[in-house]
Amino acid sequence: MRNEGKDNKDILKKQSTHQYDHEHIDKFYYCPICMQYQYPKGAQMRDQYRILIPSEWEALKDSIEKSRLRIVVEGLLFTGMRYSEYERFSNHLEWFDVKNRAISLPAKASKTGRDRTIHLTPQFTKDMSLYLREHKKLEVPSIQAMNMNLRRWHSSCALAVDDQHPNPKTFRKTWESWLLASYPDRSMAIALSQGHSELISYGHYMNLDPRLKSEMDRVRELTKGWGI
């Protein structure tokens, strides 16, 4: 007769040992038990979406050949909007407030159902303004097409050292991590701009990737003037 109690104990022991293994890894790897990629403990990986450091972001951006797609990806990063919100914004460019360096997202376009002011940096405001002045529109592909593009760009960029390619949520999570690293005393303003509570914001992003410390000067440059 099968001893179910012993089987359960063996399962719990394996799970405990497996978790211990994850906590002591020192490099990115594929776990055949979890059937997913794992990052070292403390790395910037939340909800299975990778977070970029500036050198990774710039390598990815440089691999995007078409300007109409490059500005879309830059917008995903420097607005921190959800993909669905960004799609709606692309159909209502009047929400882009150049003077106040912001995007005024109405409740009907926000996932939370509330009006939201999305703060921008001076540099991104300038870049977006110049692009729209010339092209008059944003061409945001479907999320499926964007995922395919990101796989292709990631495989061709200089820092494609692993198989964990970015996806559309990468940019929102990356931007918030950079903002919290640059402005730790402005967490409430960051949370409101991102469209969620301060508690959720901190819960996702306060354990920053140690790699980010070596690039903090660049992070501060990329976030300079945000919300001012």
Q: What is the CATH number of the domain that holds 125?
A: 1.10.443.10
Is 68 among the domain residues? yes
125 with 179, same domain? yes
For residue 94, the model assigns a pLDDT of 97
For residue 28, the model assigns a pLDDT of 42
Is 198 among the domain residues? yes
91 with 132, same domain? yes
With helix as H, strand as E and coil as C, how does the chain read?
CCCHHHHHHHHHHHHHHHHHHHHCCCCCEEECCCCEEECCCCCCEECCEECCCHHHHHHHHHCCCCHHHHHHHHHHHHHCCCHHHHHHHHCCHHHEECCCCEEEECHHHCCCCCCEEEECCHHHHHHHHHHHHHHCCCCCCCHHHHHHHHHHHHHHCCCCCCCCCCCHHHHHHHHHHHHHHHCHHHHHHHHHHHCCCHHHHHHHHCCCCHHHHHHHHHHHHHHCCCCC
pTM for this model (two decimals)? 0.76
For residue 130, the model assigns a pLDDT of 98
192 with 136, same domain? yes
106 with 154, same domain? yes
92 with 14, same domain? no
Is 67 among the domain residues? yes
68 with 33, same domain? no
User: Using CA atoms, how far apart are residues 28 and 41, in angstroms rounded to an integer?
Assistant: 10
8 with 99, same domain? no
Task: Indicate the number of domains in the chain.
Answer: 2
8 with 87, same domain? no
28 with 71, same domain? no
104 with 13, same domain? no
pLDDT tens string, the chain, 228 residues long: the values are 445 455 444 433 444 444 444 444 444 444 555 444 444 444 444 445 678 999 999 999 999 999 999 999 999 999 999 999 999 999 999 999 999 999 999 999 998 888 999 999 999 999 999 999 999 999 999 999 999 999 999 888 765 555 577 899 999 999 999 998 999 899 889 989 999 754 554 455 555 667 788 899 999 999 999 988
Full domain range(s) for residue 17: 4-38
Is 120 among the domain residues? yes
CA distances from 30 to 10, 36, 207 (A): 24, 6, 22
Locate 92 and state its tokens.
Answer: 């209502």
Is 138 among the domain residues? yes
Is 153 among the domain residues? yes
141 with 53, same domain? yes
31 with 71, same domain? no
Is 228 among the domain residues? no
Is 78 among the domain residues? yes
